[in-house]
Amino acid sequence: ATPTAIMVGTGLGAKRGVLFKNAMALETSARIQVVVMDKTGTLTKGEPEVTDVITDSGISEPELLRLVAAVERESEHPLAAAIVRHADGQGLDTVRAQRFENVPGHGAIGHVDGHQVVVGNRRLLEREGIDLGALAAQRDQLAGSGHTAIVAAVDGVAAGVIGIADAARESSAAAVAALHDLGVEVVMLTGDNQATAERIAGQLGIDTVIAEVLPGDKAAKVAELQRDGRKVAMVGDGVNDAPALAQADLGIAIGAGTDVAIETADVVLMRSDPLDVPTALRIGRGTLRKMR
Ligand code: ADP
Ligand code: MG
């Protein structure tokens, strides 16, 4: 690449808040064939809100929320924060959970007022040998409508389902369409469950969904996509995404994301706008053309 072309490309990017960290990043942008996008915080706003609290007979909604919030107060997960905010908003006074245990990619466990409380995804309850019973239908309905469905059990018995919605960013669908115009395949990669992910991917026009991926497995999924020598970009915001950003041919971080993601990435989108992903690829292609 000629130094002039690189300088022009980097300058053009900077003007639009697309920061290429080096010349290599700009050149690789021109060759991307697949863009993998994290769901939460990348395609969605990353501002989850509780929309539904459904309980089985035997426990009231405020009581379930109080027990679950006590456990989630000890967690640093964004979904946990949404549940705590909701409980606080209802004026429930939550005690602190004892013997808190974080289960990465699954949820959390703690003890509240002498009761064991398990909260997380369906897989966590399966792991604990707890049957969802009559709540399974409600869980499936929430997940099928694009909600993240959190399930909770008290003393080993399924007790409730909490529906959480995280709105898509305004420009996510337009970004996917613009990537298609560039001939690029778009993949969603998420730890969230299959039904929720597929629903949101469908709304955004995404080609392929890879869901229920454990935090440590995201990089391996990117490596699989690279197998036939395809050039893959990964777009992400979270600590979980850093290894996948490093594995990809091009790592792209959302500017509003975590420091680790920003440090690991080759490109940073200062405006946190998914539409800047196709912009980055177009600037790369323009730069390469000028070099020939
Ligand atoms: P992501 O942030 O991409 O959804 P994670 O690996 O952090 O991926 O979590 C995967 C899933 O595990 C979440 O979608 C949620 O269902 C469940 N989960 C993880 N941590 C918690 C928690 N503290 N409370 C409730 N559910 C959780
Ligand atoms: Mg994320």
Residue to substitute in 71, 77, 103, 258 for testing ligand 1 pocket (most ligand atoms within 8 angstroms of CB): 77
The pLDDT score that the predictor gives to residue 215 is 87
Let me know if 38 is a catalytic residue.
yes
Complex ipTM value: 0.94
Is the minimum distance from the CB of 120 to ligand 1 under 6 angstroms?
A: yes
Is the minimum distance from the CB of 191 to ligand 1 under 6 angstroms?
A: yes
165, 180, 210 - which closes a domain: 165
The string of pLDDT tens digits covering residues 66-88 is: 999 999 999 989 999 999 999 99
Any idea what the CATH number is for the domain that residue 191 is in?
3.40.50.1000
The string of pLDDT tens digits covering residues 4-31 is: 989 999 999 999 999 999 999 999 999 9
| H-assigned helices in 151-193 | 172-181
Same domain, 35 and 171: yes
Which pLDDT band, with edges at 50, 70 and 90, does 290 fall under? confident
- How do beta strands 185-189 and 157-165 pair? unpaired
- CA dihedral (232, 233, 239, 242) in degrees, to 10, reads 60
| Neighbouring C-alpha atoms within 13 Å toward the C-beta of 84 | 16
CA of 46 to the centre of ligand 2 (A): 7
- Is residue 94 scored above 90 in pLDDT? no
Residue to substitute in 101, 102, 106 for testing ligand 1 pocket (most ligand atoms within 8 angstroms of CB): 106
Across the range 143-172, mean pLDDT stands at 96
Same domain, 33 and 56: no
Structure tokens at 141: 């309905």
Any idea what the CATH number is for the domain that residue 153 is in?
3.40.1110.10
Angle (deg, nearest 10), helices 3-15 and 276-291? 160
Is the minimum distance from the CB of 148 to ligand 1 under 6 angstroms?
A: yes
- Is residue 292 scored above 60 in pLDDT? no
Same domain, 34 and 149: no
Which residue's alpha carbon is at the smallest distance from atom 20 of ligand 1? 107
Give Dmax over CA atoms of the chain in angstroms.
72
Euclidean distance between CA atoms 253 and 65, whole angstroms: 34
Ligand found nearest the CA of 77:
1
Task: State the total domains in the chain.
Answer: 2
Residue 60 neighbours by CB distance under 10 Å:
12
Which residue in 31, 18, 33, 46 sits closest to 190, CA to CA?
Answer: 46
Which residue's alpha carbon is at the smallest distance from atom 8 of ligand 1? 191
The pLDDT score that the predictor gives to residue 2 is 85
Which pLDDT band, with edges at 50, 70 and 90, does 58 fall under? confident
Return left, alpha or beta for 147; rule: phi > 0 is left, psi -120 to 50 is alpha, else beta.
Answer: beta
Q: What is the pTM of this model?
A: 0.90
Which residue in 257, 241, 269 sits closest to 175, CA to CA?
Answer: 269
Give all strands (DSSP E) within 155-213, no chain letters: 157-165, 185-189, 208-210
Same domain, 189 and 286: yes
The string of pLDDT tens digits covering residues 171-221 is: 999 999 999 999 999 999 999 999 999 999 999 999 999 999 998 999 999
The string of pLDDT tens digits covering residues 235-274 is: 999 988 999 999 999 999 999 999 999 999 999 999 999 9
**Domain region containing 120:** 49-165
Euclidean distance between CA atoms 193 and 51, whole angstroms: 17
Which pLDDT band, with edges at 50, 70 and 90, does 291 fall under? low
- How do beta strands 267-269 and 250-254 pair? parallel
Structure tokens at 22: 């080096």
Same domain, 159 and 76: yes
